[in-house]
Amino acid sequence: MTNLHNSRRDFLRTGALGGLGASLAFTMGGTASADDAKPVTLANGMVIKPDIGTTRPRPAGQKPVHDLTTKPLAKIRVAHIGLSRGMTHVNDTLAIEFCEVVAVCDLRDDRAKRAADVCEKKSGKRPEVYSGTVDIWEKLVDRDDIDVVYVSTPWAWHVPMAVRAMERGKHAFVEVSAGVTVDDCWKLVDISERSQRHCVMLENCCYGENELFILNLAREGVFGELTHAECAYIHDLRGMLFALGTEGDWRRDYHWQYDGNLYPTHGLGPVAQYMGIGRGDQFKHLVSMSSPERGLSKWRDEKKPNGGKHASEKYICGDMNTSIIKTELGRTIMIQHDVVSPRPYSRINALSGTEGTFFDYPARLALNSPKKYRLEAKGSHSWLNDADLAKMRALFTHPLWSKLAERAKGGGHGGMDFVMNWRHLDCIRQGITPDSVVYDAASWSSILELSSLSVATGSMPVAVPDFTRGLWKSIPPLAIAEKTADVVLPAAPAVVAQWSPKDLAADWKTVTWPLAKAITGAGIYVVEFQYTRGASRLDFKNVALLKGDTVIANDGHAGYSGNANQKNTYRLTVDAFDPAATYSLRAEIKPDGPTDSFGDITIDKQ
């Protein structure tokens, strides 16, 4: 939603910026109290108060909303404020059968009329139009025939619009970031609890295909115990930031107001859900540092956009901001922000645990035990190949994505916008708690101001307030939406034989193992030698499949299995199967040291 330039900047100075408050909750020597901490003055002269890292007590009469349920609705009546980015949400709600768009609002008359025209053409009903004055949105919010208000405006308006919507009995669906300051975030939390209405931040990146895939992998235990995540918003926006009358124009303002992570939630939201932040774990503190500010000034000075009218603007936000968050369980999250450097888009989107690691851009997965999933990979020293990754997607694609992928085709941001809107609105339809609530909106958004405080104090640790007020210890992790059945893993290759010291000698030795019922028909069989324990690895060569005393298949290459494997699989072909015959496996084997070596031999029919 476009604002009048002067009124917007006056609002920012007297409202959002005037509400700044922060504390240096951690020092190099330990924890400092708010009484000991001193105000911090930023490079632009703004003063940060010393208490934003403190968790505030719940005011009397407020109730938590982490499990808030509401009356189910057959039809959800939706209103939209802000019709630039907001048109994506308008189109999505028009495409959802249980929604009706009843009102649209924008400061610009042309945008509001255009949105109403689209609604009328697609639904046959023309929504009420609100436009032309800065406060016209208040009349929309005050209506009594609205269930959900979408707020897709510049950041400075998110909190006042969401607050008024909740106070008037509506659920507030707010674009990212939900709030600029920690005070703003607490205001959203308190109003949501007081009104018992949901405040949902529209973090679409939580609903991307890869993000939902990783979430499902994490919930199914594929990563083992989670230890670390990395995320970012890296997007070259230099041209957009000087495009007058667009989102970029007002977003540029924050580059002279803050030196920190200006846009944390696209990267942080998904990894927070993977790691159960607010649901079994919680942000504890962060440290943040910024590179010098160079890129935005250089681009402006060289391009002289808009006739050079921005020449006097003094930007303070470093080109790259890097923050590290420590959680209550001791896990770590690295988060970066860079929108002014010449580099390809990335949110990093990485998750690591004791059993596996995923990195995005491009998508890569490494697993500790790939054979558990019947993959070609032998271990975690290489990323899975395309075929193996496709097998993992077939097993673990999130059921919500499977349900909606076809409908989401052609939608915003690769379909994630539609999946997000459908899911949040379906929760309201059912009366159940949405996937993310106001505590998530507040904790993810608070990083903007908290990172700026850490940068301003020489990268000192800064506490992250607990917006759940202790509830994170008992809230269960986010469930897998639309899950109807457990994941069934492919059957593991059968262990048909084993080796132990009694089979070994100091030099090469030929050993034969009976295969009993392992050969079941004609086809290709993959035999794998896998070391399990002992002082020595096992070397092997000349592996043969016998029918009675006759060799019917042979693979002569040499390999070994130990702490690492080298060519430890053999492909043997049975051209004709004889159910009455006796089959066995023969190989030449030798330990590379003492005869202290143990392992399994598996066979898998392709």
What per-residue confidence (pLDDT) applies to 36?
Answer: 56
What per-residue confidence (pLDDT) applies to 537?
Answer: 97
Tell me, what DSSP letter sits at residue 331? -
**Are the C-beta atoms of 32 and 26 separated by less than 8 Å?**
yes
pLDDT at 90 over 70: yes
Distances (CA, A) of 111 to 80, 98, 152: 12, 25, 13
Per-residue confidence band for 3, with pLDDT thresholds at 50, 70 and 90: very low
Name the region of 114 (left: φ>0; alpha: ψ -120 to 50; beta: rest): alpha
**Are the C-beta atoms of 184 and 210 separated by less than 8 Å?**
no
pLDDT at 297 over 50: yes
Token couple for 530: 């896998």
What per-residue confidence (pLDDT) applies to 490?
Answer: 85
Token couple for 104: 């649209």
Kindly report each contact of residues 106-110 with a partner whose C-beta sits within 8 Å and lies 24 or more positions away, as own/partner: 106/1, 106/2, 106/81, 106/82, 106/131, 107/1, 107/2, 107/3, 107/4, 107/131, 107/132, 107/133, 107/134, 107/136, 108/1, 108/2, 108/83
Express each pLDDT in 571-594 by its tens digit.
999 999 999 999 999 999 999 999
Per-residue confidence band for 5, with pLDDT thresholds at 50, 70 and 90: very low
Express each pLDDT in 54-81 by its tens digit.
999 999 999 999 999 999 999 999 999 9
Per-residue confidence band for 16, with pLDDT thresholds at 50, 70 and 90: very low
Name the region of 429 (left: φ>0; alpha: ψ -120 to 50; beta: rest): alpha
Distances (CA, A) of 437 to 174, 482, 516, 581: 11, 18, 58, 65
First to last CA, the chain: 58
Q: Is the model more confident about 489 or about 226?
A: 226
Q: To the nearest whole number, what is the mean pLDDT of the chain?
A: 93
**Are the C-beta atoms of 134 and 157 separated by less than 8 Å?**
no
Q: Would strands 26-27 and 30-31 be described as parallel, antiparallel, or unpaired?
A: antiparallel
pLDDT at 272 over 70: yes
Sheet containing 569-574, strands listed edge to edge, beginning at the edge strand earlier in sequence: 494-499, 597-605, 523-534, 569-574
Name the region of 45 (left: φ>0; alpha: ψ -120 to 50; beta: rest): left
pLDDT at 43 over 90: no
pLDDT at 388 over 50: yes
Q: How many residues does the chain have?
A: 606
What per-residue confidence (pLDDT) applies to 12?
Answer: 41
What per-residue confidence (pLDDT) applies to 362?
Answer: 98
Tell me the average pLDDT across 138-161: 98
Residue 289's DSSP bridge partners are 322
pLDDT at 452 over 70: yes
Distances (CA, A) of 490 to 393, 487, 515: 13, 10, 22
Report which residue type is found at 56.
R
Tell me the average pLDDT across 374-379: 88
What per-residue confidence (pLDDT) applies to 289?
Answer: 98
- In a 13 Å sphere around the CA of 515, the CA atoms on its Cβ side amount to 23
Q: Would strands 148-151 and 76-81 be described as parallel, antiparallel, or unpaired?
A: parallel
- Check the CA dihedral 40-42-48-54 and report its sign: negative
DSSP states of 213-229: HHHHHHHTTTT-SEEEE
DSSP H or E stretch at residue 97: none
pLDDT at 175 over 70: yes
What per-residue confidence (pLDDT) applies to 38?
Answer: 80
Task: Give me the helix-helix angle, 447-456 and 438-445, nearest 10°.
Answer: 20
- Domains belonging to the chain, first-starting first, are 76-202 (3.40.50.720), 205-473 (3.30.360.10), 494-605 (2.60.120)
Share of the chain above pLDDT 90, in %: 87
pLDDT at 321 over 60: yes
Among the residue ranges 218-222, 345-349, 481-485, the one predicted with the least confidence is: 481-485
Per-residue confidence band for 32, with pLDDT thresholds at 50, 70 and 90: very low
Token couple for 88: 């994506």
- Look at the block and give the residue holding tokens 């639904």: 123
Q: How far apart are CA 237 and CA 566, in angstroms?
A: 47
Report which residue type is found at 580.
A
Distances (CA, A) of 606 to 160, 379, 546, 551: 62, 20, 18, 20
Among the residue ranges 9-23, 213-227, 467-481, the one predicted with the least confidence is: 9-23
Among the residue ranges 133-137, 296-300, 348-352, 483-487, the one predicted with the least confidence is: 483-487
DSSP states of 117-186: HHHHHHHS-PPEEEESSTTTHHHHHT-SS-SEEEE-S-GGGHHHHHHHHHHTT-EEEEPSSS-SSHHHHH
Q: How far apart are CA 147 and CA 169, in angstroms?
A: 8
Distances (CA, A) of 77 to 60, 111, 120, 127: 32, 21, 15, 11
Among the residue ranges 280-294, 354-368, 462-476, 485-499, the one predicted with the least confidence is: 485-499
**Are the C-beta atoms of 231 and 270 separated by less than 8 Å?**
yes
Distances (CA, A) of 85 to 20, 116, 150, 448: 27, 15, 11, 21
Express each pLDDT in 180-197 by its tens digit.
999 999 999 999 999 999
pLDDT at 460 over 90: yes
Express each pLDDT in 241-254 by its tens digit.
999 999 999 999 99
Phi, psi of 327 (to 5 degrees): -100, 170
Report the predicted TM-score, pTM, of the whole model to 2 decimal places.
Answer: 0.87
Q: Would strands 364-367 and 569-574 be described as parallel, antiparallel, or unpaired?
A: unpaired
Share of the chain above pLDDT 70, in %: 94
Q: How far apart are CA 384 and CA 320, in angstroms?
A: 31
Output b/e per residue, 561-591; b: 16+ Cβ within 10 A: bbeebeebbbebebeeeeeeeebbbebbbbb
Q: How far apart are CA 426 and CA 73, in angstroms?
A: 9
What per-residue confidence (pLDDT) applies to 4?
Answer: 37
pLDDT at 378 over 90: no
- Check the CA dihedral 167-173-179-182 and report its sign: positive
Q: How far apart are CA 195 and CA 201, in angstroms?
A: 17
Per-residue confidence band for 491, with pLDDT thresholds at 50, 70 and 90: confident
